[in-house]
Each structure stands twice: as C-alpha cells, then as structure tokens.
C-alpha cells in the first residue's frame, strides 16, 4: 500500500518536482489546489518530470481561507496522510503587509493546525535567510523571543514576502510546540533548475535574474566580492525535503538546503553570462547605494530590479553539518552545480525565445 501525503503548493516550481519525486518513490499525494480543474495539466507536468501522474489527486482549497476551504470528505482523506508538506506561499515582491500576512502567515498557521489536529508530521519549507542570524538581528527579529518582534517594522525593512516568511516560521514553531506536534523545516537557498534538464518556471527569482542579464539590464554587481546568492538545485532540494519528512531523528529540527560552494555573485553572473554569450558586469555597486537609487520613484520598475530581491545577497556563510549528515545517511549529494546552472540558463533562453517579454509575476492572485 502506498503511503499518503498531503501537499500544499504542489502546482508551484518546487511543488511540481516534489510531487514527481514522491510519486516516483512510492507515495500518493493529495494536493491542495485553488484551481482543482487544473489537475490534468499538473498530472501531465508531474509525468514529464519523471513522476507517476496517477498517484496525484487534487483537493480543492485555499490556505487564505478559514479551514483551508476544505470540504468534510477531503478533510477525512487528509487525516490518513503520513506527512503534510507545506510549500504554498504567495512568492512575489511588492506584497502588502496585509496580503502577505493573510496568505503566508495565517495560511501557514492553518496548515500547521490541520497537521497538529490529526497528529500528522508537518514538513514546512522556509528559506535560507532564517539561518542568517546576524541578518535577522539587523532587521529587528528577536530570535530568542520572537513574540517581542515588531513585525510591521520588519515588513517595512524587508518587504511583505520575506517579512511574512520570517513571521510564519516562528508562529508555526510556536503553534506546533504548544500543540505538542512534530514538525521539520527545510530552508532552501535560491532554487536553481533541475540539474539534468534545467527545468525552471519563468517567474522564479533565478530565472528572472538570467532573463535580466540576457536582456542587458544588469549593469553592475550588487555588493562586494564577498557577496553571494547561494543556490540549490531543485532535485537536491526535493530529495532533502523527502528524507527530512520521514526521518524520526529530524522531528522538530531544521536544515539548510544550500550548495555551500556557490561562487560569489560576480562569479555566478560570469558563469551565466558565458552561457548566454553576453558580457558579464564587472563593477560592484554597494547594496545600500543601489537601494537608495531604487528608491527614486519609477526607477525600480524601469531598471527591473526589486529592492526586496537585494536582501538575499549577503556575505554570511552557513553551518552545513546537519545537511551533510543527511547526505551521508541517505547517500545523495549536490549535482555538478556549474552544469546545473548552465542547463538552467539554456532552459530560460529557450523560454525567452518563445516569450520575448514574459509578464512579471502578478502581485495579487
Ligand atoms: N524558489 C525559491 O528560490 C525559494 C527559495 C527559498 C524558499 N522558497 C519557498 O519554497 C516554497 C515553494 O516555492 P516555489 O518557488 O515553488 O513557489 P511558486 O512556484 O511561486 O509556487 C507557489 C505555490 O503556492 C501556491 N499558493 C499560493 N497562494 C496560495 C493560496 N492562497 N492557497 C493555496 N495555494 C497557494 C501556488 O498555487 P497556485 O498554482 O494556485 O498559484 C503554488 O502552488 C515557498 O514556501 C517559498 O517561500 C522558495
């Protein structure tokens, strides 16, 4: 008998690859979908990515609604799940605090409450900035006593998306601890395309960066030679998520999914530029100066740079010991990331050839 899982965010980039991995390795997935009529397309995509389409089932719902908008029968089916994978998030820049909180914080709490109510392990996907304690302190997050954090002020500093991911993280841990329920959290770096095919969705931050470099919009390198934007391939990430979700020793633990040898931003842009056959930017511009320039009305849109995206370019290096232990235990490793990045770039070029001016990610949907 196949083990059942419940997945939110299954139609997204990471979610599609997670569904492919889960169904190819013996699991059945019930996927929370705002548009369950799209299940046919999602199944086709899961099959293209190497999964078993027949083991993916839609459950109508929305994390921004009370009770996730679930029907009684679906609720009953979900109660049989071994793990609740929470990936859904409104992942976009320029979100209002209200919208970000309604979806990313309240939505995460609703998913946590469902998992805790049925005694199901929760696997939540966070983000690597949650392991950058200096950054959290700088932006005013009290990691020892998160309830003392002035969250609206944090949102004001880093924007709706990141602010809500940070707030959701601490709120969910608190909820699960109070309920005595088990959770695990995986914190991905910026996600790179699939290491063999380069598959990536168009609105992903890395795909946007590649597009901007291809279109000559990148004039300078944000930050110094010490700054980097750590990457992880989507295939490594979904293996890590799956191992952590079912590992008893990872209950109430967190782990980073991040390739620690990602080059600095200059090196990464040079690699991308080589594959694109365009000139790589050479000059550095301090991030604070860039943010100041982008504050000039209309400039962020004209230069196609969101100040929020600059927060992810940092100098912090990370302790990877837990991730390395899991890699040894489950015998997996990062793919050749230079190759994975080159393949991702080629995938994006293919996409650009068919859609020369891709629409920006919608802010509200
Ligand atoms: N990609 C990265 O570089 C990266 C890095 C660090 C962390 N993360 C985290 O990883 C997770 C997955 O990211 P991703 O890149 O796969 O995001 P994505 O491609 O933008 O997918 C987002 C998913 O969330 C769903 N969703 C949004 N609002 C919802 C709502 N109100 N109710 C139900 N579902 C909703 C979307 O469903 P629809 O199809 O209905 O829109 C979609 O399936 C997120 O939590 C993100 O914060 C991603």
Instruction: Indicate whether residue 93 lines ligand 1 (CB < 6 A).
Output: no
In this predicted model, what pLDDT tens digit does every residue of 74-94 receive, in sequence order?
999 999 999 999 999 999 999
Closest by alpha carbon to 188, among 5, 334, 291? 334
CATH number of 3-190+231-257: 3.40.50.720
In this predicted model, what pLDDT tens digit does every residue of 201-247 receive, in sequence order?
999 999 999 999 999 888 889 999 999 999 999 999 999 999 999 99
* Position 119 pLDDT exceeds 70: yes
Supply the residue whose CA is at minimum distance from atom 1 of ligand 1.
191
Return d(Cα 200, Cα 207) in angstroms, integer: 7
pLDDT at 357: 54
Supply the residue whose CA is at minimum distance from atom 13 of ligand 1.
14
Mean pLDDT of 11-24: 98
Identify whether the C-beta of residue 4 lies closer than 8 Å to the C-beta of residue 27.
Answer: yes
Return d(Cα 232, Cα 262) in angstroms, integer: 9
Q: Residues 100, 103, 109, 110: what is their CA dihedral angle, to the nearest 10 degrees?
A: 170
* Position 359 pLDDT exceeds 50: no
How many angstroms is it from 285 CA to the middle of ligand 1?
Answer: 31
Identify whether the C-beta of residue 287 lies closer than 8 Å to the C-beta of residue 310.
Answer: yes
Return d(Cα 360, Cα 8) in angstroms, integer: 23
Q: How many CA atoms lie within 13 A of 316 on its CB side?
A: 19
* Position 303 pLDDT exceeds 90: no
Mean pLDDT, the chain, whole residue set: 94
Cα Rg, the chain, nearest whole Å: 20
Return d(Cα 345, Cα 365) in angstroms, integer: 28
Instruction: Indicate whether residue 125 lines ligand 1 (CB < 6 A).
Output: yes
In this predicted model, what pLDDT tens digit does every residue of 128-179 receive, in sequence order?
999 999 999 999 999 999 999 999 999 999 999 999 999 999 999 999 999 9
Dihedral sign from CA coordinates of 270, 275, 276, 277: positive
In the chain, what are the domain boundaries?
A: 3-190+231-257, 196-229+262-317+335-354
Instruction: Indicate whether residue 63 lines ligand 1 (CB < 6 A).
Output: yes
Supply the residue whose CA is at minimum distance from atom 36 of ligand 1.
9
Closest atom of ligand 1 to 16 CA is 16
Instruction: Indicate whether residue 230 lines ligand 1 (CB < 6 A).
Output: no
Of the two residues 292 and 265, the one the predictor is more confident about is 265
Strand order in the sheet with 253-257: 56-60, 27-33, 3-8, 83-86, 121-125, 183-188, 253-257
Burial class (CB in 10 A: 0-12, 13-18, 19+), 169: buried
Q: Which of 6, 14, 200 to mutate to test the pocket of ligand 1 (most atoms within 8 A of CB)?
A: 14
Q: Dihedrals φ, ψ of 60, to 5°? A: -75, 135
pLDDT at 251: 98
Grade residue 356 by pLDDT with cuts at 50, 70 and 90: low
């Amino acid at each position: 008998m196949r083990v059942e899982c419940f997945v939110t965010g299954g139609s997204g980039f990471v979610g599609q690859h997670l569904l492919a991995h889960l169904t190819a390795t013996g699991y059945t997935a019930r996927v929370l979908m705002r548009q369950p009529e799209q299940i046919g397309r999602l199944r086709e995509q899961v099959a293209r990515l190497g999964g078993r389409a027949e083991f993916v089932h839609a459950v109508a719902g929305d994390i921004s609604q009370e009770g996730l908008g679930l029907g009684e029968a679906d609720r009953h089916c979900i109660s049989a799940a071994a793990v609740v994978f929470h990936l859904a998030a409104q992942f976009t820049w320029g979100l209002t605090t209200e919208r970000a909180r309604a979806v990313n914080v309240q939505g995460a709490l609703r998913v946590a409450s469902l998992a805790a109510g049925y005694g199901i392990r929760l696997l939540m996907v966070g983000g690597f900035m949650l392991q950058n304690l200096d950054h959290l302190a700088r932006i005013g997050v009290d990691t020892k006593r998160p309830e003392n954090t002035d969250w609206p002020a944090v949102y004001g500093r880093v924007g709706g998306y990141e602010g809500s991911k940070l707030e959701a993280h601490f709120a969910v841990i608190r909820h699960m601890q109070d309920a005595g329920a088990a959770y695990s959290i995986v914190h991905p770096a910026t996600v790179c395309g699939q290491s063999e095919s380069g598959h990536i969705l168009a609105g992903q931050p890395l795909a946007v960066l590649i597009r901007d470099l291809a279109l000559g919009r990148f004039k300078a390198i944000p930050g110094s030679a010490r700054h980097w934007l750590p990457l992880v391939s989507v295939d490594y990430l979904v293996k890590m998520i799956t191992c952590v979700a079912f590992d008893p020793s990872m209950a109430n633990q967190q782990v980073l999914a991040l390739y620690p040898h990602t080059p600095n931003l200059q090196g990464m842009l040079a690699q991308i530029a080589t594959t694109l056959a365009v000139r790589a930017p050479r000059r550095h511009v301090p991030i604070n100066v860039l943010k100041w320039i982008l504050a000039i009305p209309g400039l962020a849109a004209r230069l196609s740079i969101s100040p929020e995206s600059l927060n992810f370019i940092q100098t912090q290096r990370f302790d990877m010991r837990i991730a390395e232990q899991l890699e040894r235990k489950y015998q997996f490793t990062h793919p050749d990331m230079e190759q994975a990045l080159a393949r991702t770039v080629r995938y994006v070029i293919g996409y650009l050839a068919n859609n020369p001016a891709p629409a920006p990610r919608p802010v509200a949907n």
